[in-house]
Chains A and B, each alone.
Chain A
Amino acid sequence: MFEPYLMGLIPLLPALAGLVIFLFGPKVLKEASHWPLILACAASLFIALSGAYSLTRLGHEASFSHHAGIWFATGGTHPVVAGWDFRFDPISGMMTPMVCFLGLVIAMFSAGYMHGDPGYARYFGVFSLFVASMNLLLLADNLILLYAGWEGVGVCSYLLVGFWFAKPSAAKAARKAFLVTRIGDVGLLLGIFLLWAGCDFQLDLHTVLEKARQLPEDYIYFAGMLLFIGAMGKSAQFPLHVWLPDAMEGPTPVSALIHAATMVTAGVYLVARFLPVFSRSSSLLAFIAAIGCITALLAALIALTQNDLKRILAYSTISQLGYMFMGLGSADGAASQSELVTVAMTAGMFHLFTHAFFKALLFLSAGSIMHAMHHVIDIRKLGGLRHVLPWTHIGFLAGAVALAGLFPFSGFWSKEEILKSLDLAAHRTDGHPDAYKVMTWLALITSGLTAFYTFRAYFRVFWGEEVIPEEAHGHAHESPTSMVSQLLVLTPLALGIGWYFGYSHLLEHYLAKTHGFAHMEIEIASKSWIAITSQVLAVAGIALAYVVYIAKPALDGLMRKASGPFYKLSLNRFYLDELFTIVLVRPFQVLSWLIHVLDRELWDRLVDSVARLPAWLGDRVRPVQNGLIQFYALAMALGLTIFLVFLAFGDRLYR
């Protein structure tokens, strides 16, 4: 039986590993610096899996909780109590094993990928802290603790994106990632405060979830909106998505772990946790779904024309995260039927789960390509690599079919759930059914686009004429076993995990046991038209990619010409970065220049003049020190006289 106090070890062990690596890594462990992390991840994975297994044998709303002490607490009538509270329920029970497992696989992959890097120990130290923070975020039963984990992953992400900080683009990308997510973090913090004030100054997550349901709808709307802004920042939703593509400056395994599989899902996790509360506000959920939909479509459109393989994957991640939010948002109008909230939550979380595996696989494959091609990642410079990199080819293909949502691979099952949930929302009388009808169709179109851009990358890199960039100096070779074996571990999982959990609805029943969600009595029947349409679109996308990039390469130029301005728009990422520069960055620069001038010309001078006053006074008084002994004696005598006069006649003065 699972012991609740073991839960604390899940974040603690990687944190200790990080400590060990930072203390002994650079001098003692050196090229063995990855071992503490691997051991900690394995141990955490074991604990998390045993906890998850224990949960399956318990009934509805079962969870383990453990209070390991108080972190800090304030007194007074409005106390802020941050305790080391941990809770292990089905949602955490799905996420923590996933994080630990992917952390383990990617750590082993990184051991090969980062081999020989001067920052080897630093890399694994920060990696460990990342796994620790992520687990803390997932297990925290206290909003402050959750926020601590949330910021922890943000810092680790910053450190890893800027891992090669000597490269200006990496340093810039790290700063951008940190600042953009920070906008979201402010929202999250304000949302936490709003909930704290609304829920009798409680910060325990389960208490807050319980009490927040009784809050008025407007209150939930505002608090939920603030929390969702936090989720938008961390999960790269439009318009705060701009940091994620730039974050690809970090080492590729980092992109696989942080910017594809785990950290960016923190926002989805947060919204899923609060879904029973959010479902009380229809407009909030419609907003979440709409943002998800815009993000999914926009990112897919941008991904169509990008030439950097990692950026294509980054935009597909953004797009899939949008999908997840669409799924969660489809709980709109289901307040009276709480089973449907559960359907929406499980759909979003299921896609999160499958996506984590196949996106990690895709990124690791991309990392393997980069490793072999000496860090060339431009798909125009690559081609026909399927003979040079046979194993990587298999891994990438598996990830691609899963991402494209081909039956019967992972993506199909989870996307299906989301589409189904969206369709349910479109046929409800409450909420915004019309909006959801549009979203269902946009989601379907997006899945077609996804298939196209994924296979565009696949065909360009692995098929056609063999093109190996000059940077590889003619010794392009398959990556070492330590890396390839990780791809082979992930391949069956990426392909089959959706079928295993989707066909049997195991994960859904498991997740539905989470406290606050209604138990699913009814089985939601699949609608065949959705499945067929999505399959047709996916196959059409793949076929189009095949025709354009393999069969008739001339079509590529033709398509570019035909699409004209849209091509340019997509290639330049809809000019969103430029828009941000004009709307946000420039005004800030003007403001900071103004403040700089004010500071220099006004405040500094004021302060300086205060400082000059004693100096001026000193100049006036200093001549007294003229060195003449008799002058001193005279001053003494005069002083004495004044003193004596006061002594003798002072009482008369005061009278």
Chain B
Amino acid sequence: MSPPGLSHYLVIGALLFVIGMIGFLTRRNMILMFLNAELMIQGVAINFVAFARHRGNLEGQGFFLFLLAVAACEAALALALILVLYKVNNSLDISIWQNLREDDMDPIVDEEPLPAALPPETAPKLPVAGTEPAQEEELSHV
């Protein structure tokens, strides 16, 4: 069995990219869409590295480092955005956001609506550190 050549890497990269793209187009959960986008980026990154290896220079590698930095920034921004959007609608469904459509168009509604969103779970609230929690008043003063 011969060692893997350029084309193998390229196929892997293309597969990653296409999987990511299909995922991006089909999933409606914002976090999953974000992850699929990451997948596409990684597919491209593999191409860079493979070509760098194939040509024997470092340009592709250098570009890959840039790509990592950009992807990290993008991740920070995207997750922050997703968080904000989630807070507004209490849902991660992307199809709720159709505000860019023309004014006179009706919004597109799913034929099979998603199950209703769960009520937000109330996380236990901790007191601010350093102050004593309120105590129940003792009944007896014996």
Q: Which residues of B contact A481 (CB under 8 A)?
A: none
Asked if A626 and B108 make an inter-chain contact with CB atoms under 8 angstroms apart, the answer reads yes
Q: Which residues of B contact A637 (CB under 8 A)?
A: 21, 25
Which of the 9-residue segments A123-131, A543-551, A628-636 touches chain B? Answer: A628-636
B→A interface (CB under 8 Å): 21, 24-25, 28, 94-95, 97-102, 105, 107-108
A637–B37 alpha-carbon span in the complex (Å):
13
A634–B33 alpha-carbon span in the complex (Å):
13
Given A627-B98, A627-B100, A628-B98, is A633 in contact with B105 using a C-beta cutoff of 8 Å? no
Residues 631-648 of A at the B interface (beta carbon under 8 Å):
633-634, 637
Sample of 20 further A-B pairs with CB below 8 A, known A623-B102, A623-B105, A625-B101:
A622-B102, A625-B102, A625-B105, A626-B102, A627-B97, A627-B98, A627-B99, A627-B107, A627-B108, A628-B95, A628-B98, A628-B101, A628-B108, A629-B94, A630-B24, A630-B25, A630-B94, A633-B24, A634-B25, A637-B25
Asked if B105 and A629 make an inter-chain contact with CB atoms under 8 angstroms apart, the answer reads no
Q: Which residues of B contact A634 (CB under 8 A)?
A: 25
A623–B24 alpha-carbon span in the complex (Å):
22
A626–B21 alpha-carbon span in the complex (Å):
20
Q: Which residues of B contact A628 (CB under 8 A)?
A: 95, 98, 101, 108
Residues 100-114 of A at the B interface (beta carbon under 8 Å):
none
Asked if A627 and B25 make an inter-chain contact with CB atoms under 8 angstroms apart, the answer reads no
Chain B residue, CB-CB nearest to A640: B21
Asked if A633 and B97 make an inter-chain contact with CB atoms under 8 angstroms apart, the answer reads no
Chain A residue, CB-CB nearest to B97: A629
Chain A residue, CB-CB nearest to B37: A633
Q: Which residues of A contact B25 (CB under 8 A)?
A: 630, 633-634, 637
Q: Which residues of B contact A625 (CB under 8 A)?
A: 100-102, 105
Q: Which residues of B contact A629 (CB under 8 A)?
A: 94, 97
Q: Which residues of A contact B102 (CB under 8 A)?
A: 622-623, 625-626
**A407 → chain B closest CB, angstroms:** 93
Asked if B105 and A626 make an inter-chain contact with CB atoms under 8 angstroms apart, the answer reads yes
Asked if B94 and A626 make an inter-chain contact with CB atoms under 8 angstroms apart, the answer reads no
Residues 589-639 of A at the B interface (beta carbon under 8 Å):
622-623, 625-630, 633-634, 637
- Write 13 A-B pairs (CB below 8 A) sorted by A numbering: A622-B105, A623-B105, A625-B100, A625-B102, A625-B105, A626-B102, A626-B108, A627-B108, A628-B101, A630-B24, A634-B25, A637-B21, A637-B25
A156–B69 alpha-carbon span in the complex (Å):
81
A626–B107 alpha-carbon span in the complex (Å):
8
Per CB-CB distance, the 10 closest pairs between chain A and chain B, nearest first, are A627-B101, A627-B98, A627-B100, A626-B101, A625-B102, A622-B102, A634-B25, A630-B25, A629-B94, A633-B25
Q: Which residues of B contact A623 (CB under 8 A)?
A: 102, 105
Q: Which residues of A contact B95 (CB under 8 A)?
A: 628, 630
Q: Which residues of B contact A626 (CB under 8 A)?
A: 98, 101-102, 105, 108
A633–B101 alpha-carbon span in the complex (Å):
14
Q: Which residues of A contact B21 (CB under 8 A)?
A: 637
Encoded as 1 (CB less than 8 Å from any B CB) or 0, chain A from 494 to 529 comes to 000000000000000000000000000000000000
Chain A residue, CB-CB nearest to B94: A629
A634–B108 alpha-carbon span in the complex (Å):
16
A630–B95 alpha-carbon span in the complex (Å):
8
A622–B103 alpha-carbon span in the complex (Å):
11
Asked if B101 and A630 make an inter-chain contact with CB atoms under 8 angstroms apart, the answer reads no
A633–B33 alpha-carbon span in the complex (Å):
11
Q: Which residues of A contact B24 (CB under 8 A)?
A: 630, 633
Asked if A630 and B98 make an inter-chain contact with CB atoms under 8 angstroms apart, the answer reads no
Chain A residue, CB-CB nearest to B30: A629
A623–B102 alpha-carbon span in the complex (Å):
7
**B107 → chain A closest CB, angstroms:** 7
A622–B104 alpha-carbon span in the complex (Å):
10
**A176 → chain B closest CB, angstroms:** 55
A647–B16 alpha-carbon span in the complex (Å):
22
Chain A residue, CB-CB nearest to B18: A637
**A652 → chain B closest CB, angstroms:** 21
**B12 → chain A closest CB, angstroms:** 19
**B33 → chain A closest CB, angstroms:** 8
A622–B24 alpha-carbon span in the complex (Å):
24
A637–B97 alpha-carbon span in the complex (Å):
20
Q: Which residues of A contact B101 (CB under 8 A)?
A: 625-628
**B27 → chain A closest CB, angstroms:** 9
**B25 → chain A closest CB, angstroms:** 5
Chain A residue, CB-CB nearest to B27: A630
**A634 → chain B closest CB, angstroms:** 5
Q: Which residues of A contact B97 (CB under 8 A)?
A: 627, 629
A417–B28 alpha-carbon span in the complex (Å):
109
**A439 → chain B closest CB, angstroms:** 82
A637–B17 alpha-carbon span in the complex (Å):
12
Chain B residue, CB-CB nearest to A634: B25
A630–B25 alpha-carbon span in the complex (Å):
6
**B109 → chain A closest CB, angstroms:** 11
A511–B75 alpha-carbon span in the complex (Å):
103
